[in-house]
Chains A and B, each alone.
Chain A
Amino acid sequence: MSEYDAIVAGSGITGGWAAKELTERGLRVLLLERGPWIEHRKDYTTEFKAPWELPFRGFSDPKVLATTKRIQRFARTDEWTEGMFVDDDVDIYETPAESQFRWIRGYHLGGRSLMWGRHSYRMSPLHFKENARDGHGVPWPFGYEELAPWYDYVERYIGVNGTAAGDLPGLPDGRYQPTMGFSAAEQRLADLIAEHYPDRRLLPGRTANLTQAIGERSACNNRNQCARGCSFGAYFSTQSSTLPAARATGRLTVHADSIVESLEYDATRKRVVGVRVLDARSGAPTVARAKLVFLCTGSINSIGVLLRSDSPAAPGGLGNSSGLLGRYVMDHAFAGIMLSTVPGLESQMYLGRKPNGIVLPRFVNIKSQETDFLRGYSFQGASGRDGWKRAGHGPGMGAAFKESLRRPGDWIVGFGIFAECLPRRENQVRVNFARKDKYGLPLMRIDVRWSENEHKAAAHARREARAMLGLLGGTVLPSSDELAPPGTAIHEMGGACMGDDSRHSVLNRYNQLHDAPNVFVTDGACMNSCGDRNPSLTYMALTARAAAHAAELYKAGAFA
């Protein structure tokens, strides 16, 4: 008999939640993390470093950016944060030239919960209906109402600052701490948009940064450097939130440096009976056993674990009887920031660097199909006043020039675009068993490409952004018209879609593999569509819901 009731693979946002929920519901949990341990506070080694204490003053060594961080750099890393991301020479994968997928990861305890963007938006009721409505992807097996109480539960726990906006058609409200609000420039833009576009609302970003303390987690100190790790625990991460909660139960065991290689499947009992683990340092294989397994290793890695669990009893990968495992992989089509100066606010200033930014939720194709593309997009942005860097990019020198830099420069406000990616069967993640990485694991092969729909949506969004920013009467600065390659939004998801019919989905409505119901996949792999906004809050809600269901089943003897 195993000493564990459940194994949770992965310690990032969803793994942390699974561990917390399962332990709090009475289960003994083994949490496996493929990377090294990062202890809250102690191991945030660059958090309090000043730029003059770093070799490259915070800008990173170009050689590092060209080699070991050549892909990770697109997470907008800097010299403080680059160590949080994987080594692109070690953690390799394949992607065809037509895809150029950027797979951005953090392999350590806490995973990307330490570096995530923290924007926390609910999917709208519309998002759950559109697969069925327009025929792209696999229909969701439930609607928004099913998830709403779990959104409530998660938001209250993690702490999201925000404003209720009256349940906009494109963005439901949630349970919020007091907002971090707007800057003067953001308020100006919000007012102008409200005046000119009755169907659009610019809102302060809703982020998992506290404005009121929760337990030992203190309110945000407005450093806006979250990805270094935060000793104040002021943003939600595994380390600040779910891990201490799970540990407090006395039912959690954590094994770091433990890579989940594959799952051991008992075809006669139609369940997984073991998790094959490789020691990341020694390569030594072991098998961990428990009655149920939560796969939370990140969408692509969770698909990889299942595909590598290929056996005569599970040909083509465990959970792949539908043939859909690894298909319908998505990311948001991300188009770079468009910026404008904001004249007329020269006397207005702020103190502190708020980390929430702004959001303009979807406003197209809400009531009817209005555009020549399906679905929609949202904007996220930020503002601030030009700082000392402006001095390097314009004329001037000498004492008066130096003196002028003591005052803030122009107000700048900008938008980035997140367009919904249609779920497409041909956007697929596979395993190339012929090539292996340093751990002996076959390489993931990621082929996600933008379709005409994403390009059209982004082009529409650019025109709208330009028009809205134009209302400010400033200078709209030149920006790229290119869509960034898939992966750049760091919202990769899909590949193990949910549904009630095992012939047309990989997971059931509670995230259980149809083919092995004691395996739950609750990271982004389970997403049937991606909407147009940051997905982590939805992953957390789905994980908490699935864990509650798993605990009930466990107690009822379903996995005995």
Chain B
Amino acid sequence: MGGAVAAFVSLMVADLPAVRAAQPRSRDPRHAFTERLCELVIPRTDTPGGAGAGVAEFVLLAIDHGMNDLDASSLELVRESLRTAGGREFLELGPRRQTQLLEVLDARAFARSAVAAPGTAEMAWQRLKPAIIAGYYTSEIGASRELVYEPVPGPRRANFVLTPEYRSRSNEDFGGAL
């Protein structure tokens, strides 16, 4: 009996991260800003974008669990940088201005010659952006509607010439680092 209870308790403990991970984050005060970033990076086209795919939920989970060296300051650094550059809260700006500001930060963060310093918005964005991308392309929408989800490819076709219709398989990049 004791063994069974202990086993059950250990099962519960083992499952805690999963329980936490499944909690809804839509009421999180960071959610609206995060969701806007996700949509600006991957906008709605003929398939839903970052907002429609619920990417903000994954990004906040990634921050809260320290994935890709993210921490609580990561989002704040990006937000503060965009607020300073825009002269007011990012979410209060129009879409065109938001796009401009984020494009500037993105270009700075990923400029070939630049080495982002710790504690800067550039480094925070270097860590945040992979989470946005991963969140989108591992979502059902990103993996199976925007790209092709191919869990069982079957017989391999070794080499062929790419056709205009070919669309990348999301499965190629699952797992590993963000």
In this assembly, does B85 line the interface, its C-beta being within 8 Å of a C-beta of chain A? no
Residue of A nearest to B129 (CB): A392
In this assembly, does A396 line the interface, its C-beta being within 8 Å of a C-beta of chain B? yes
In this assembly, does B156 line the interface, its C-beta being within 8 Å of a C-beta of chain A? yes
Beyond A51-B174, A350-B158, A393-B130, whether A222 also contacts B153 by CB under 8 A is yes
Q: Which of B1-51 contact A (CB under 8 A)?
A: 3, 17-18, 21-22, 40-43, 45, 49
**Quick check: B143 and A397 within 8 Å, CB to CB?**
no
Q: Which of B125-165 contact A (CB under 8 A)?
A: 129-135, 137-140, 142-144, 146-147, 149, 151-162
A-B contact count (CB 8 A): 181
**B42 CB to nearest chain A CB (Å):** 5
**B85 CB to nearest chain A CB (Å):** 16
Q: Using a Cβ–Cβ cut-off of 8 Å, how many residues does chain A contribute to the interface with B?
A: 59
In this assembly, does A196 line the interface, its C-beta being within 8 Å of a C-beta of chain B? no
**Quick check: A78 and B175 within 8 Å, CB to CB?**
yes
Please indicate the chain B residues that have their CB under 8 angstroms from the CB of A79 in the complex.
175
In this assembly, does A348 line the interface, its C-beta being within 8 Å of a C-beta of chain B? yes
Beyond A57-B58, A57-B138, A349-B166, whether A222 also contacts B156 by CB under 8 A is yes
Q: Which of A208-237 contact B (CB under 8 A)?
A: 219, 221-223
Please indicate the chain A residues that have their CB under 8 angstroms from the CB of B144 in the complex.
50
In this assembly, does A307 line the interface, its C-beta being within 8 Å of a C-beta of chain B? no
Give A78-100 as 1s and 0s: 1 = Cβ < 8 Å from B's Cβ atoms: 11100000000000000000000
In this assembly, does A399 line the interface, its C-beta being within 8 Å of a C-beta of chain B? yes
**Quick check: A57 and B65 within 8 Å, CB to CB?**
no
**B124 CB to nearest chain A CB (Å):** 14
**Quick check: B178 and A183 within 8 Å, CB to CB?**
no
| Among A187, A348, A352, contact of B161 (Cβ-Cβ < 8 Å) | A348
| Among A55, A181, A395, A399, contact of B106 (Cβ-Cβ < 8 Å) | A395
Beyond A51-B138, A281-B3, A405-B168, whether A351 also contacts B157 by CB under 8 A is yes
| Among A64, A281, A388, A407, contact of B133 (Cβ-Cβ < 8 Å) | A388
Bound-state CA distance A222–B155 (Å) is 7
Give A38-55 as 1s and 0s: 1 = Cβ < 8 Å from B's Cβ atoms: 000000000010111001
| Among A50, A78, A406, contact of B149 (Cβ-Cβ < 8 Å) | A50
**Quick check: A397 and B103 within 8 Å, CB to CB?**
yes
In this assembly, does A408 line the interface, its C-beta being within 8 Å of a C-beta of chain B? yes
**Quick check: A402 and B138 within 8 Å, CB to CB?**
no
**B126 CB to nearest chain A CB (Å):** 8
**Quick check: B42 and A402 within 8 Å, CB to CB?**
yes
Q: Which of A168-224 contact B (CB under 8 A)?
A: 180-184, 187, 219, 221-223
Residue of B nearest to A78 (CB): B175
**A274 CB to nearest chain B CB (Å):** 27
Bound-state CA distance A447–B140 (Å) is 46
**Quick check: B146 and A402 within 8 Å, CB to CB?**
yes
Between A and B, 19 residue pairs with Cβ closer than 8 Å are: A56-B65, A57-B58, A59-B175, A62-B67, A64-B17, A221-B154, A222-B154, A350-B157, A353-B171, A385-B172, A387-B169, A387-B172, A388-B173, A389-B137, A397-B99, A399-B45, A403-B45, A405-B137, A406-B168
Residues of chain A at the chain B interface (Cβ within 8 Å): 48, 50-52, 55-59, 61-64, 76, 78-80, 180-184, 187, 219, 221-223, 281-282, 346-354, 384-385, 387-389, 391-399, 401-403, 405-408
Q: What 13 additional pairs, Cβ within 8 angstroms, besides A50-B144, A59-B134? A: A52-B138, A56-B67, A58-B175, A59-B67, A183-B159, A187-B159, A221-B153, A347-B162, A353-B153, A392-B133, A395-B111, A397-B42, A405-B147
